[in-house]
């Protein structure tokens, strides 16, 4: 079983007839899923999603896959296959299509409808091909067959890729709910049939590989949601993903039973649920939906709101309610239902929102204290079933943090997959399939690409480091005025500090040290403004580190007069 290879160099050219797989995201993280398959000079892209930033990425809106590996080969891309409509699988498509708008998008009806609505905001009209389970389409060297899988969004698909150099089964995100709300099962008969044909490489969802047993059926949480609606005294505010059609359906059904009206809050929620309803994936009871602006006309015990913000996103509706920065004022007797799992890394943000809501007097119901959500991913028992049904020759776990990928690999080994055929790798590592065997061939650049406001790819780790220092350590500016003709300091130094409990007066202690350092420098003939700035930076930085035990951002400025 392979491991990370930080020493890897760029891979050699792919051998004739071989198949190359490069994940540009989704390995070692939950998000920005994107895999590039190469065969005979042509490329097939599977998914193109975003990763949502955490506290380590201040000011960043989204994180994209690194397209540099394919930027000069866009004409070689035969299609972008989208397994389902979640943001971590489709959210980066607009940014890739900015580079080449006519790249064909392939996916199910709902998936394409969601991405088309997103692309409309980017003023891109895509080329699309709608497919469904059982369909088989050829894109250049790639013969693709689509298989129904069950997930937390309707119309999800796995894709089986046939090439002259081998076959690949990519599950996308899936689980094996035997009582799905929409009646659409993961097609294990198709998995078995493809296994009989021969699966050379199995790329399978790892998110719940650490979880023993089987994922709870969606239908099992309906009683818990109904119970929330029966006992709520005032308004009910439900937070979930804006694409979670199944959960919204359950909330609509519960609201109808309890005689409540429902309003959608948030642009993405309104847009996505409108698309789902228009296509028949969401069954909206007659007369149950009301405009958000009409809520004031209804008694509180007849109101239900569905909004975004279940992951603690700062600008989402629920976070703003918790911070009293929203027109909906949460108060005593309101019930807030968080109908989602925690994405790894979001725990602190979600707990802050929960605490903020409870401080305002709301009752908060979440997965930790009630069964109000189930995962959309296969647990270990389901993955074992898949390995035994598919019987793959080689396995490459995808979609998960390192602990998920390793747990999934262990499951593959337990079912008898040859350890030499199990590759656990990180983003950018190149995996070649040649003569039925996988091997690590090298690595390509695959860093984070940040969306920061209107800029894409311009923010880098240096900028984020500066932002983290400003946030965590504070800021000091030091200004002096130098006579340009004599080179003598004629005014200052003047110190301004921000982010320090001690206040500016505390820096009076360092002033003699700073003046002495400047006098010594000018006495030795230092008149260059840059060198003087470094003298000030060292004098201030050393003192602050010893005295206050902080490492702030220090901005020295020499003004020549």
Q: Is 134 annotated as a binding residue?
A: no
Cα end-to-end span (Å), the chain: 67
- The verdict on whether omega for the bond into residue 493 sits within 30 degrees of 0, i.e. cis, is yes
- Whether the Cβ atoms of residue 92 and residue 48 lie closer than 8 Å to each other: yes
pLDDT band (50, 70, 90) for residue 466:
low
- Looking at residue 340, its pLDDT comes to 76
Q: Is 377 an annotated catalytic residue?
A: yes
Q: Is 59 annotated as a binding residue?
A: yes
DSSP lists the bridge partners of residue 336 as 237, 364
Task: Give the distance from CA 341 to its chain's centroid.
Answer: 14
> What whole-number distance in Å separates Cα of residue 114 and Cα of residue 156?
13
> What whole-number distance in Å separates Cα of residue 81 and Cα of residue 83?
6
Q: Is 173 annotated as a binding residue?
A: yes
pTM across the whole model: 0.84
Is a pLDDT exceeding 70 seen at residue 42?
A: yes
From residue 66, alpha-carbon distances to 86, 451, 560 in Å are 19, 12, 44
Q: Going edge to edge, which strands form the sheet with 62-64?
A: 62-64, 449-452, 455-456
- Looking at residue 52, its pLDDT comes to 78
DSSP lists the bridge partners of residue 535 as none
pLDDT digits (tens, 9 = 90+) for 334-349: 999 988 776 666 677 7
pLDDT digits (tens, 9 = 90+) for 244-288: 898 899 999 999 999 999 999 888 889 999 999 999 999 999 999
SS3 290: coil
pLDDT digits (tens, 9 = 90+) for 155-211: 999 999 999 999 999 999 999 999 898 899 999 999 999 999 999 999 999 999 999
From residue 14, alpha-carbon distances to 1, 38, 41, 427 in Å are 22, 9, 9, 18
The more confidently predicted of residues 102 and 369 is: 102
* Strongest mean pLDDT among 18-22, 25-29, 305-309: 18-22
SS3 403: helix
> What whole-number distance in Å separates Cα of residue 512 and Cα of residue 97?
59
Q: Which of 377, 404, 427, 432 is catalytic?
A: 377
- Looking at residue 442, its pLDDT comes to 93
Average pLDDT over residues 516-528: 74
Q: Do the domains spanning 19-213+376-453 and 220-365 agree at the CATH topology level?
A: no
pLDDT band (50, 70, 90) for residue 498:
confident
Average pLDDT over residues 474-480: 79
Helices (H) and strands (E) counted in the chain, each on its own, are: 14, 24
Is a pLDDT exceeding 80 seen at residue 309?
A: no
What does CATH list as the number for 220-365?
3.40.50.10710
DSSP-derived letter for residue 103 is P
Average pLDDT over residues 39-66: 86
Q: Is 246 annotated as a binding residue?
A: no
- Looking at residue 62, its pLDDT comes to 83
Is a pLDDT exceeding 70 seen at residue 312?
A: no
What are the start-end ranges of the E strands in 280-428?
Answer: 303-307, 335-338, 363-365
> What whole-number distance in Å separates Cα of residue 227 and Cα of residue 443?
52
pLDDT digits (tens, 9 = 90+) for 388-447: 999 999 999 999 999 999 999 999 999 999 999 999 999 999 999 999 999 999 999 888
Is a pLDDT exceeding 70 seen at residue 505?
A: no
Q: Is 374 annotated as a binding residue?
A: yes
- Looking at residue 310, its pLDDT comes to 73
Average pLDDT over residues 445-466: 75
Q: Is 366 annotated as a binding residue?
A: no
Average pLDDT, the chain: 88
- Looking at residue 186, its pLDDT comes to 96
Is a pLDDT exceeding 90 seen at residue 512?
A: no
Would you state the structure tokens that stand for residue 252, as one six-digit string?
């609509």
Would you state the structure tokens that stand for residue 416, as one six-digit string?
């008898």
Q: What is the DSSP string of 245-284?
A: HHHHHHHHHHHHHTT-EEEE-SHHHHHHHHHHHHTTSS-P
- Looking at residue 63, its pLDDT comes to 86
The sign one gets for the Cα dihedral 55, 58, 61, 64 is negative
SS3 421: helix
Q: Is 244 annotated as a binding residue?
A: yes
Residue whose entry in the numeric block shows the structure tokens 């094996």 = 176
Q: Is 54 an annotated catalytic residue?
A: no
Q: Is 88 annotated as a binding residue?
A: yes
Q: Is 477 annotated as a binding residue?
A: no
SS3 512: helix
The C-alpha R_g of the chain, in whole angstroms, comes to 28
Say what the alpha-carbon torsion angle 85, 90, 91, 95 is, to the nearest 10 degrees: -150
- Cβ burial of 516 (10 Å; 0-12, 13-18, 19+) is exposed
Structural domain spans, the chain: 19-213+376-453, 220-365, 461-560
> What whole-number distance in Å separates Cα of residue 51 and Cα of residue 24?
12
pLDDT band (50, 70, 90) for residue 452:
confident
Average pLDDT over residues 30-40: 95
- Whether the Cβ atoms of residue 361 and residue 194 lie closer than 8 Å to each other: no
Is a pLDDT exceeding 60 seen at residue 4?
A: no
- Looking at residue 175, its pLDDT comes to 96
Average pLDDT over residues 57-72: 85
Average pLDDT over residues 500-507: 65
Is a pLDDT exceeding 80 seen at residue 492?
A: no
Is a pLDDT exceeding 60 seen at residue 290?
A: yes
Average pLDDT over residues 212-239: 90
Query: Architecture of 19-213+376-453 per CATH?
Result: 4-Layer Sandwich (3.60)
Is a pLDDT exceeding 70 seen at residue 386?
A: yes
- Looking at residue 150, its pLDDT comes to 95
Among the four given CATH numbers 3.10.290.10, 3.10.20.580, 1.10.150.120, 1.10.10.10, the one describing domain 461-560:
3.10.20.580
Q: Which of 205, 253, 334, 363 is catalytic?
A: 205
Q: Is 89 annotated as a binding residue?
A: yes
Number of other residues whose CB lies within 10 A of the CB of residue 458? 12
Q: Is 452 annotated as a binding residue?
A: yes
Provide the greatest CA pair distance for the chain: 87
Residue whose entry in the numeric block shows the structure tokens 């390509």 = 444
- Looking at residue 31, its pLDDT comes to 87
């Amino acid at each position: 079983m392979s491991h990370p290879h930080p020493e890897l160099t760029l891979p050699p050219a792919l051998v004739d007839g071989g198949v190359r797989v490069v994940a540009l995201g989704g390995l070692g993280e939950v998000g920005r899923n994107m895999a590039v398959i190469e065969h005979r000079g042509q490329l097939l892209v599977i998914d193109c999603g975003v990763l949502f930033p955490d506290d380590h990425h201040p000011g960043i809106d989204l994180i994209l896959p690194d397209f540099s590996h394919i930027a000069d080969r866009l004409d070689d891309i035969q299609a972008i296959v989208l397994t389902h409509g979640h943001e971590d699988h489709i959210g980066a498509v607009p940014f890739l299509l900015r580079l080449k708008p006519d790249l064909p998008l392939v996916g199910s009806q709902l998936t394409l409808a969601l991405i088309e609505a997103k692309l409309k905001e980017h003023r891109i009209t895509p080329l699309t091909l709608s497919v469904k389970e059982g369909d088989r389409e050829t894109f250049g060297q790639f013969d693709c067959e689509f298989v129904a899988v069950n997930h937390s969004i309707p119309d999800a698909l796995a894709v089986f890729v046939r090439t002259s150099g081998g076959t690949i089964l990519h599950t996308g995100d899936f689980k094996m709910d035997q009582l799905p709300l929409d009646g659409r099962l993961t097609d294990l008969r198709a998995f078995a049939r493809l296994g009989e044909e021969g699966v050379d490489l199995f790329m399978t969802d790892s998110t719940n590989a650490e979880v023993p047993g089987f994922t709870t059926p969606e239908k099992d949480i309906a009683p818990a949601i109904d119970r929330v609606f029966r006992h709520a005294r005032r308004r009910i505010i439900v937070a979930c993903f804006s694409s979670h059609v199944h959960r919204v359906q359950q909330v609509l059904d519960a609201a109808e039973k309890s005689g409540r009206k429902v309003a959608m809050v948030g642009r993405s929620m309104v847009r996505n649920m409108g698309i789902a309803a228009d296509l028949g994936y969401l069954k909206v009871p007659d007369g149950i939906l009301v405009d958000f602006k009409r809520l004031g006309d209804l008694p509180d015990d007849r109101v239900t709101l569905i909004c975004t913000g279940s992951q603690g996103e700062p600008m989402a509706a629920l976070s703003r309610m918790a911070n009293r920065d929203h027109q909906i004022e949460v108060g005593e007797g309101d019930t807030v239902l968080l109908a989602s799992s925690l994405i790894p890394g979001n725990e602190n943000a979600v707990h802050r929102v929960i605490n903020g809501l409870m401080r305002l007097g709301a009752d908060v119901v979440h997965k930790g204290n009630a069964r109000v959500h189930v995962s959309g991913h296969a647990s270990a028992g389901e993955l074992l079933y898949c390995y035994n049904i598919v019987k793959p020759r080689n396995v490459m776990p995808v979609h998960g943090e390192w602990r998920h990928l390793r747990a999934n690999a262990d499951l593959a080994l337990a079912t008898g997959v040859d350890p030499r055929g199990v590759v656990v790798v990180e983003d950018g590592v190149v995996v070649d399939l040649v003569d039925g065997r996988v091997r690590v061939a090298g690595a390509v650049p695959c860093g984070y690409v940040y969306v920061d406001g209107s800029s894409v790819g311009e923010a880098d780790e240096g900028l984020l480091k500066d932002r983290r220092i400003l946030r965590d350590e504070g800021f000091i500016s030091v200004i002096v005025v130098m006579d340009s003709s004599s080179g003598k300091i004629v005014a200052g130094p003047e110190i301004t500090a921000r982010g320090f409990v001690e206040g500016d007066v505390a820096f009076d202690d360092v002033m003699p040290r700073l003046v002495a350092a400047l006098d010594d420098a000018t006495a030795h003939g230092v008149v260059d403004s840059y060198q003087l700035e470094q003298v000030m930076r060292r004098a201030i930085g050393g003192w602050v580190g010893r005295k206050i035990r902080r490492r702030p951002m220090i901005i020295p400025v020499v003004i020549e007069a």
